[in-house]
Structure 1
């Protein structure tokens, strides 16, 4: 068994690291989103937060693998574990936090409080928090294993001469499961860093499109459930006949609600067209966004007649495009609520708002990122005409 003094040192180091980790997690968690002065200062000086996060995450995965082998292989060596935990605390964790709290936007290098800059930083912060949470499980496991051995030493004096047979089977499984959690969190963050801005906007747009189409399908099914149709349970004494009333089911669309039914049909039809728009935007605009072109020089702008947008302008346009794309599914939620309340006026307002947001998105990127017409330019014109048609 390890000497009691080294076990106590391991326990102390682990608890101290847990306290540090809790501080880091609190500094990254909303609504505070504040950090220590050291982490903030380091973050402000990072040339590329995504590169920093990637390097630190890769290192953390490697350290975790080594640490898990130390835990699985008898005898337990507290000094080696202390060194490994110290390596993670002194460089990896602080680097991850610095990347997550940087005052500069990971893409543009500008301080940004909204739009894509905020979205990118939020995703990075969330990924780092998941990695920190997984590493916290590793620390909890190390502490549990060390305290068990310390307890055995405190209980029996002759235990010090006993051979360390390693972790129990249950402890082995815990080590493997916890290591897997860290790997999974690290792999997700590494994928985010590798995909960068294009990967993020495509992912978000696909998620919003899925939410939109799910809501449209629910509206369609609700509209098909017309109140007043013959109910096979009507007039019966079945104990479940009044479940809808008992559990407060949504209002049904009555046969007499002709205008509301017509508005619902129109909404479902045109919102499906909006879903088609998302698909086209993802393929023709988001996936073709220039990943890292340099800002045009004065000579380049002069050569282009001053008509080309700078990279900063193009990025700002993408930021605003994502705002519109996010607003549509959010508006559809309000639209559905208006229909369920049988409020025709509010439903009309929300439907027009959803279509307006979609048309604003089209107008912003009617031309390609380099300012030329292409296939999407022609298609988008036809799409707008179809949406505006009665």
Structure 2
């Protein structure tokens, strides 16, 4: 029986490698492209996220059994084989199927890639645990005295099992939050990055000199004080201009930072499955992530250009930020289930619609100062 178990463990490892390959982005995309049209209705009926959550929870439960059996004396190959067969024949196929049903068309590219990554991680961690169990089985097969496992050996199993549990929990939580929850989490992360960048700019003082360098060069500087009086006046003018550009940058970035909590509270929180069920909703989510996701890097670049006193480059980054932010506000102007009226007539919308239109007007005024700063 022990020999049969080692064969089954080897088969399981091979299967896990194949499944991990199936869940690589290129392989998954190829398998989905063939049946995208046929699967659209099937995806809705199958409820892939519910299946994904159930299968990852089932894998976690089977891992608990497997780890306990692996460290319990006497070692029982038949019981472990039963667990592995259940995983191979039911749990893993369900996990793979659910992961592949989370298509880019139905769930956005970003969420699709996230699910593939998280599922592959769970499989990789499970493979590591199976490898540990295989070593135990091979040792038991060759150990005539059947010695008890040491604490260190048991710890290896429990640590490996813990890593699988953690990976499964992440899959379950991500599936439970769904696409909108995933997007909201990303927007929250970008919001925090922008807040940090704005705080750094606020704290930055271009008037601060390099005291260490000034002290080091003190002797020479005293000899040159008279020659540098004119330069000091120029420096004062430069610092004043830089302070003004800092003020303009902050005036510009603060309404940009306001977008993120506004979008979270009015278009993502409590939105449920509405963005996925309305026409163009998934594409809109995709675009929002693409545009809002670019802004934190652009803010960092704009700040860097400001610190380097490169007004032209800083202004260009600010214009790019405005473009992404404005397009986002235009996309989300109306509630998910409303469309713009015919002949360019503005729909009533909701309170966020009013806020977004006001925001656009404010940005028109704020951006006038970029050219003159």
What interval of TM-score do these two structures reach, taking the shorter chain for normalisation? Answer: 0.7 to 0.9
Q: Deviations over 1:41-95 (max 9, x none)?
A: 7995653321221221121111111112211321101122122122212222222
The CA distance in 2 between the partners of 1:218 and 1:144, in whole Å, is 53
Other structure's SS at 1:171 match: helix
Q: Give the structure 1 partner of residue 344 of structure 2.
A: none
Deviation at 1:97, TM superposition (A): 2.1
- Contact 1:263–1:348 (Cα < 8 Å) also in 2: no
Going from structure 1 to structure 2, the CA distance change for 1:151 and 1:34 (only over 3 Å counts) comes to: same
Determine whether 1:189 maps to 2:171.
yes
Greater helix share, structure number:
2
Counterpart among 175, 184, 191 of residue 202 in structure 1:
184
The CA distance in 2 between the partners of 1:86 and 1:333, in whole Å, is 52
Deviation at 1:206, TM superposition (A): 0.3
The CA distance in 1 between the partners of 2:256 and 2:78, in whole Å, is 61
TM-score (structure 2 length as normaliser) = 0.78
Q: Deviations over 1:223-259 (max 9, x none)?
A: 42546x261453439xxxxxxxxxxxxxxxx762554
TM-score (structure 1 length as normaliser) = 0.75
Structure 1 consecutive aligned stretches of length 4 or more whose deviation exceeds 6 Å: 35-38, 40-43
**Where in structure 1 are there 5+ consecutive unaligned residues?**
1-5, 106-110, 153-158, 238-253, 296-310
Q: Give the structure 1 partner of residue 11 of structure 2.
A: 16
Q: Deviations over 1:313-335 (max 9, x none)?
A: 33433332232221212322332
**Which deviates further from its counterpart, 140-149 or 345-354?**
140-149
**Where in structure 2 are there 5+ consecutive unaligned residues?**
218-234, 339-347, 367-373
Counterpart among 367, 370, 373 of residue 349 in structure 2:
373
Deviation at 1:173, TM superposition (A): 2.0
Going from structure 1 to structure 2, the CA distance change for 1:140 and 1:41 (only over 3 Å counts) comes to: farther
Q: Give the structure 2 partner of residue 325 of structure 1.
A: 292
Going from structure 1 to structure 2, the CA distance change for 1:226 and 1:166 (only over 3 Å counts) comes to: farther
Root-mean-square deviation (Å): 3.1
Describe how 1:128-277 pairs up with structure 2 within 5 A. Answer: 128-152=119-143, 159=144, 162=145, 164=146, 166-221=148-203, 223-226=204-207, 229=209, 231-236=211-216, 256=238, 258-277=240-259
Q: Deviations over 1:23-56 (max 9, x none)?
A: 32233235x4448969x87995653321221221
The CA distance in 1 between the partners of 2:35 and 2:350, in whole Å, is 45
The CA distance in 1 between the partners of 2:48 and 2:334, in whole Å, is 31
Determine whether 1:64 maps to 2:40.
no
Q: Give the structure 1 partner of residue 78 of structure 2.
A: 79
The CA distance in 2 between the partners of 1:199 and 1:235, in whole Å, is 54
- Contact 1:331–1:354 (Cα < 8 Å) also in 2: yes
The CA distance in 1 between the partners of 2:23 and 2:365, in whole Å, is 48
